[in-house]
Amino acid sequence: MKKYLISALALGLAVSCGNPAKEPVQSLLSEYATVEIGKENTPLLQGISDNGREVLNLYRFAAIEAGNIYWQQAFGDKTALDALEDGPVKQYAYINYGPWDRLTGKSFIEGYGVRPAGLRFYPEDMTAEEFETFSDPLKNSPYTLIRRAEDGSLKCVWYHEAYKESIDKIGNYLRAAADITIVPGVKEYLLAKAAALAGDDYLESDGKWLEMDSKMDLVLGPGEAKDDFLYGIKRSYEAYVVLKDVERSDAVKAFSETLAGTEAAESFALNDISVCDALYYAGAADAGIKDIAINLPQESAAAAGKSARTLLMQNVIMAKFNTILKPLATLLLSDEDKVHVSDEAFFWITAFRELSHPLSAVRSSEGGAEPLGNLAAVIEDARADAMGADLAINSIGNYRTRTVVTPEDAVATFVANLVRSSRFGDEVTGRAALLCYNYLLAEGGFALHPDSRYYIDYEAAKSAISALSVKLTKIQSAGSYAEAEAFVNEYSAVGSDLQDAYMYLRTDHIPVDIAFKFVW
């Protein structure tokens, strides 16, 4: 088997002074703008008792251990990277949770090849034929690793067995938090989550989380299969520590009451939506591109007949808008269009995007493979992009959001955001945005003019967004890998227009995304 790891000594030599690769890594690092988040810079901490602050500290300790598990999933033993000299290479390795650039899949440290499609979820030398003939049904579980037995054959290993040391520590932190919390529902959730992690059975804990009502929240465990580019099965460990903005969450819920009888009503009916400040990300949540919202638990909620829960990270949303999206729109959109890009439109597009996830035509089961395989995640994200934008445009157009935002604001912000997100490269979010961008471009929703700026045809864009939502929903309903593959192949190229846009953005020093500095 080809080895992932090289010695710490070899790594040190590879990135020592004089290595010509060092300067390009500094350039790569500059693509991430540092943003501070944490207990010390959120107004929402006011009113939280000393007891509550200690619960938050325990949440962070648990999240750190979830990050340690993800290091094993994404890379292996990170001791080699810890031994690097302090500098841009080490910083960039920590941002990417390994030596592979999340945006390109390529190595930026000498001694590593292209990022493995299955990361550490599968043996690197495993063939497709081996996996197909492997008879253990647990191979399709989101919570098992595929490993080599002593005789060289394949075997399944449960997450809770492979990562027992970290999971035991997480359980201890969760039980300690349960002992000091004064909210009964939180106590029940934390104890159920500790048990779930120890047995890889999440139905009960997911139900407890959906029933829980607390200003402080911890989302932790195997979340999505966005890192399994091989089969789209294995889920990545991640963690979020957040504080709910009760006032704004209530305002969004009040808005949902205005949707009765509309197409958007079903989306809100399927979700419990909260607006939050993020305090800590770890694992897959913190690797590369940072989520601005999450929608969980998808299958468990459906199985239990309950609503999913959407968390909108308002401080992260605003950081990305101010640092990236607004400067991008100013640079790339026409004078007539850039005035329509607004933070409020960005918030609502994000909200409706997440609220569209439960409306997916197809959901993989806990123990079965998704019919669209390794394309399932990108098709789902592209569908949610289009459907969310369509719902937002229609709701805003009918003044249901009770905010000074126009349909043109929603369209212009969506188009600018597609350019922003398409820069994410190999990340699922980036691939999905690229599909949407190319579809809208082909349908005349916008065009690049000789002045190197985008001009938007609002009616054509609205029509294309609606049509794309329908098209991708039909692909999911059919469950045809061939149809999904044909769509991805047709709309996944980075054309000369985008290449030029990326060059302008780099020249103007507009970052691709943000990296967190946690202030506790």
The Cβ of residue 3 has, within 10 Å, a number of other Cβ atoms equal to: 8
Answer for the pair 55, 181: CB distance below 8 angstroms, yes or no: yes
Answer for the pair 178, 191: CB distance below 8 angstroms, yes or no: yes
pLDDT of residue 21: 46
Between CA 343 and CA 346 the distance in angstroms is 5
Q: Is 300 left (phi over 0), alpha (psi -120 to 50) or beta?
A: alpha
Q: Beta partners for 514?
A: 33
Answer for the pair 392, 342: CB distance below 8 angstroms, yes or no: no
Q: What is the pLDDT along the chain (520 residues), one digit of tens a residue?
A: 333 333 333 333 333 333 444 458 999 999 999 999 999 899 999 989 999 999 999 999 999 999 999 999 999 999 999 999 999 999 999 999 999 999 889 999 998 988 999 999 999 999 999 999 999 999 999 999 999 999 999 999 999 999 999 999 999 999 999 999 999 999 999 999 999 999 999 999 999 999 999 999 999 999 999 899 999 999 999 999 999 999 989 888 777 666 656 666 666 665 688 999 999 999 999 999 999 999 888 666 555 566 688 899 999 999 999 999 999 999 999 999 999 999 999 999 998 898 888 776 554 444 445 789 889 989 999 999 999 999 889 887 665 555 678 999 999 999 999 999 999 988 899 999 999 999 999 999 999 999 999 999 999 999 999 999 999 999 999 999 999 999 999 999 999 999 999 999 999 999 999 999 999 9
pLDDT of residue 62: 98
Nearest to 292 by CA among 407, 390, 385, 410: 385
pLDDT of residue 365: 41
| C-alpha 288, offset from chain centre | 9
**Token code pair at residue 154:** 């394949």
Nearest to 414 by CA among 351, 371, 358: 351
Q: Beta partners for 242?
A: 217, 278
For residue 326, give the DSSP letter.
H
Angle in degrees, CA 68, 310, 167, rounded to 5: 25
Between CA 201 and CA 369 the distance in angstroms is 17
pTM: 0.88
Q: DSSP string of 251-289? A: HHHHHHGGGTTSTTHHHHHTEEEEEEEEEEEEETTTSSS
Q: Name the strand (E) or helix (H) holding 216.
A: strand 216-222
Mapped onto helix, strand or coil, the DSSP state of residue 485 is helix
Between CA 454 and CA 435 the distance in angstroms is 17
pLDDT of residue 359: 74
Q: What is the 3-state secondary structure (H, E, C) of 19-83?
A: CCCHHHHHHHHCCEEEEEECHHHCHHHCCCCHHHHHHHHHHHHHHHHHHHHHHHHHCCCCHHHHC
Between CA 350 and CA 398 the distance in angstroms is 18
Residues 6+ apart with CB under 8 A from 169: 62, 65
**For the packed helices 496-507 and 407-422, what is the interaxial angle rounded to 10 degrees?**
90
Q: Provide the sign of the torsion angle of the four alpha carbons 68, 225, 177, 59, taken in this order.
A: positive
pLDDT of residue 251: 81
Answer for the pair 237, 70: CB distance below 8 angstroms, yes or no: yes
**Token code pair at residue 32:** 């991430």
